[in-house]
Structure 1
Amino acid sequence: MIPEKLARKAEEFVDSGAFFTELAAMVAYATESSRPEGRLAIEAYLDEFLTPALTALGCEVTRYENPDPAAGPFLIGTRVESPDLPTVLVYGHADVVEGQAGRWSEGRDPWTLTAEGDRWYGRGAADNKGQHLVNLAALRLLLADQGSLGFNLTFLLESGEEIGSPGFAEFAAAHRELLRADVLVASDGPRLDATTPTLFLGARGGLGLQLTADLRPDAYHSGNWGGLLRNPATTLAGAIATLVDGHGRIRVPELLPPAIPPEVREALAGVTVAASPGDPVPDEGWGEPELSAAERLYAWNTLEVLALGAADAERPVNAIPGSARAVLQLRYVVGTDADQAADAVARHLAAHGYPMVDVQVLGSFAASRTPLDDPWVRWTKTTLEEVTGGPIAVLPNIGGSLPNAVFTDVLGLPTLWLPHSYPGCLQHAPDEHLLVQIAREGLVLAAGLFHALGRPPADRPLPTHA
């Protein structure tokens, strides 16, 4: 149970406006990892904001260059209170997606945090600056209240998560001793919904595929050549329909996961998705019909068409286009052989009469999760339920992708993700926002969890980690 004084200080930090002020300073850095100018903002953010914030926690702070020049550096703060104490690894990412200025409602500037009702609008407010601020503030409040954390801290921030975390796995493998810990505690992605505190244990993987039907360099008159020349757009539409049908069901066996494990099915029983006001209503008859909505989102694979085009749909002409292109994305769970997915798609298309469609991989995130029966999961669920006084949703993984595999597969850590956002936060889109009530509750939850990690109850000692 979190000390009442610490819980009040956490709530006051949000209610007083101090959290908003600090987050506004963070949002003002246009840390877009996909833009060259964003790299300069990332450097400034690491040097001017995050380094002082970690130093204030008594951390020794070091910046490490990324082994992949496609992404920016890593920042690590370490605070060692005693070699005999457990070590908690905390993770966040300093980068954001493109600001998309000019597309936000009411003339909002993505780099100016704007308070409207119960929402704080700004790029990075939810993904991920608001979330790593919750953890920084919780640690700061605990240190001020108790005089020590009660555990050793390693706080890791990367600056390329939004472009696929290039170099992260290589960096972790080369710095295993530096990142050695008992458990990962991190915050990213959404809760189950706006009102349900959530603990998730991993992430679905993501694999980007580009399909191209490049049949000829020129377009030809549809009246003179229609019926004689293969239409690349028609070809590509037919090819895609053999991969995923018009009802969202995957038709390539190699792209499907193994059967849902009983423990995962049990964890998702009764879980309701899309339950927040303003969420779109899930479509009836879409996806695998025998699965619940929660199983389709958290325990199954989906193949989505993200973009599809040929010629100019805004200004069509009477001509058969020469080429067509589509970008697809496979979201997949643990157990899927994603390394063979592109070859499987190419073989499938050839077998169905579409050998002229080229298949290329655009990038990927690995799927991973900590087992639901891991002792750290049970310990943390019980701790968080004591802090909040209510139930905690435990998800095997979120539907999206995160570099969780770096922690589970490279570093061998149990991973506990305590998110402080919700599915309707519009991350990656105009009008991204953080809900005030989630920031307030999240700070209490984070402070309570860190307090219990440093001062576990006598009847619930910390799990051991080999």
Structure 2
Amino acid sequence: MTRSAAIARAGEHFDCGEFRTTLARRIAMPTESQRPERADVLAAYLSDEMQPAFEAMGFKCRTLRHPLAKAPFLFAQRIEGTGLPTVFGYGHGDVIRGLEPEWRSGLSPWQLSEHDGRWYGRGIADNKGQHSINLQAMANVLAERGRLGFNAKYLIEMGEETGSPGLRELCAEHRALFDADLLLASDGPRLRADRPTLFLGSRGCLNFDLRIDARAGGHHSGNWGGLISNPGIQMAHAIASIVSPTGQIRIAEWVPSELPAAVRRALADCEVDGGVDGPAIDAGWGEPGLSPAERVFGWCSFEVLAFKTGNPETPVNAIPPRAWARCQLRFVVGINDSRILPALRRHLDRHGFQMVEIVETGEERFRATRIDPDDPWVRWVASSIAETSGKTPAILPNLGGSLPNDIFTDVLGLRTVWVPHSYPGCSQHAPNEHLPPELLREALLVMTGLYWDLGAGGTPAAAG
């Protein structure tokens, strides 16, 4: 009944194929939350997979619903005693569209398969593989110690890939039920495949459209060229006023006033590496004077996700009547999200682009969050991971992408520590989603050690 025995049990469970069998069964369920016809599959993932797994560990389960959510939530808890730390876990069982025709020959999004030393399947990285690791790690601790040694609460949702509708309201409604000392969850990528990582929040995200509607239809470019405005040209110049040719944001309200010292210290030890399949970093792109890690984890970035004017498929000799661009701002703590679009409106007007209309897309707006990298819980988790893996984990102040983390920090008032079990080159949201099995195995060992330590005493919560 020791920590090392629990970790050895985790390794045996992985090596004998049991973990792969469980994961394959879950990947086989096409839980695409963007497709209304998958509603029954979304509910079945909770009732047929998650609830039995939790109940086998002595958790009591409740199905929760909210009118804004298209699928139910599963809440599971195991309360072992007063005075023990309470840890809140989170995961999502829905996945992005399978995109079956676009996968490599011989691969299917709904079948776990191994090729070239990688395991493939939709959801293996986002998020079925990640929460399956955490559930099995708790099971390993229970099998070895007979108890967790802490109080565990866990929420599984089925709508994260559509913006987590209803999650904020559900957490507000059940705040007392979800009360805990710490959110410990897994999503997103490690800094590198071979380096355990923890991140403490996420960048905020706001998507919006820029539109110019100049006139009802197109007009001959020979007869009217030089006489009437071209929305495509106007839109290009409007975008160029927002961001420099090297990606530096030109709107002061869209960037932080400084990079906090604690963030700089944490990121000084972090090297961004997408692996062999990842793109090469453009050294001259983004905010000058920052390291790659500081640019993606400590600063803001503006992106044009799509741009259309005229008819790109079959161009004609006509001045287009309109132009459209889908834009995105990823932002860090210190940026007031309610002021992003008003600042853009003022900026465009100052530069003579009153004809550009700004339209919110209606997608979920994620707020920027991060806890202090020097928080005692952060150091405690990092120490546990280092003991198990023999590696110094990377500590990221926040994920470069976005998660509904502000719900947990702002609504539930939780410290948030995320331990990701993926890597940047995993093809998340794309065809051929995959993970190296050695990453999954190490993650299972790391989480088993972490859950063991949570129940062994000496946590920041237990120390007061």
Preserved contact between residue 255 and residue 341 of structure 1 (Cα < 8 Å): yes
Name the structure 1 match of 2:36.
36
2:25 alignment counterpart: 25
**Structure 2 counterpart of 1:87:** 86
Q: How does 1:284-323 map to 2 (within 5 A)?
A: 284-323=283-322
State the 1:464 CA deviation: 5.0
1:77 counterpart = 2:72: no
Residue 276 (structure 1) aligns with: 275
Please state how far the C-alpha of 1:465 moved relative to its aligned partner: 9.0
Instruction: For residue 277 of structure 1, report the CA deviation from its aligned partner.
Output: 2.4
Mean CA deviation greater in 257-266 or 78-87: 78-87
Instruction: Indicate conservation of the 8 Å contact 1:453/1:462, yes or no.
Output: no
SS in 1 for 2:105: helix
Q: Which runs of 5+ in 1 are unaligned?
A: none
CA distance in 2, matches of 1:325, 1:345: 16
Residue 4 of structure 1: how far off its partner (Å): 2.2
Percent sequence identity over matched residues?
48
Distance 1:106 1:310 in 2: 35
8 Å contact 1:75–1:157 — kept in the other structure? yes
Does the 8 Å contact 1:120/1:436 carry over to 2?
yes
Report deviation, 1:67: 3.7
Cα distance per residue 1:327-375 (max 9 Å; x no partner):
1110000110111111111121111111111101223111101111211
User: For 1:46 and 1:311, how far apart are their aligned partners in 2?
Assistant: 46
SS of the equivalent of 2:101 reads coil
**What amino acid is aligned across from residue 256 of structure 2 in structure 1?**
P
Question: Any idea what SS the aligned residue of 1:340 has?
Answer: helix
Tell me the distance in 2 between the aligned counterparts of 1:461 and 1:418: 17
Distance 2:447 2:143 in 1: 15
Residues 388 and 297 of structure 1, relative CA distance in 2, 3 Å threshold = same
The one-letter code matched in structure 1 to 2:461 is: P
Residues 195-217 of structure 1, C-alpha deviations (whole Å, 9 max, x = no match): 10001111001110111111112
- Which residue matches 1:330? 329
2:418 corresponds to which residue? 417
| Structure 2 gaps, min length 5 | none
- Can you list the C-alpha shifts for 1:71-103, whole angstroms capped at 9, x where unaligned? 422110111111232211111011111111100
Runs of 4+ in 1 over 6 A off after TM superposition: none
Alpha-carbon offset, residue 386 of structure 1 = 1.2
Per the normalisation by structure 1, the TM-score is: 0.96
Aligned to 1:169: 168
Among 445, 450, 462, the alignment partner of 2:460 is 462
Aligned residues: 462
Distance in 2, matches of 1:438 and 1:413, equals 28
| Contact 1:379/1:463 (8 A) holds in 2 | no
Question: What is the match of residue 103 of structure 2?
Answer: 104
CA distance in 2, matches of 1:35, 1:258: 42
SS at match of 1:266: helix
8 Å CA contact 1:271–1:294 kept in 2: the answer is: yes
Task: Name the TM-score, length of structure 2 as normaliser.
Answer: 0.97
Shift of 1:176: 0.7
What secondary structure does 1:327 align onto?
strand
Q: For 1:31 and 1:256, locate their aligned partners in 2 and report how far apart those are by CA, in whole Å.
A: 37
Do the aligned partners of 1:61 and 1:75 also contact (CA within 8 Å) in 2?
Answer: yes
- Are 1:435 and 2:449 counterparts? no
**Greater CA deviation, 226-235 or 189-198?**
226-235
1:417-450: CA deviations, max 9, x gaps? 1110000001011111122011100000000000
Q: CA RMSD in A?
A: 1.5
Q: Provide the residue aligned with 1:224 in structure 2.
A: 223
Q: Which residue of 1 aligns with 2:405?
A: 404
Alignment of 1:39-438 (within 5 A): 39-69=39-69, 71-274=70-273, 276-362=275-361, 363=363, 364-438=365-439
Distance 1:270 1:94 in 2: 33
Q: Secondary structure at the match of 1:102?
A: helix
Conserved 8 A contact 2:195-2:391: no
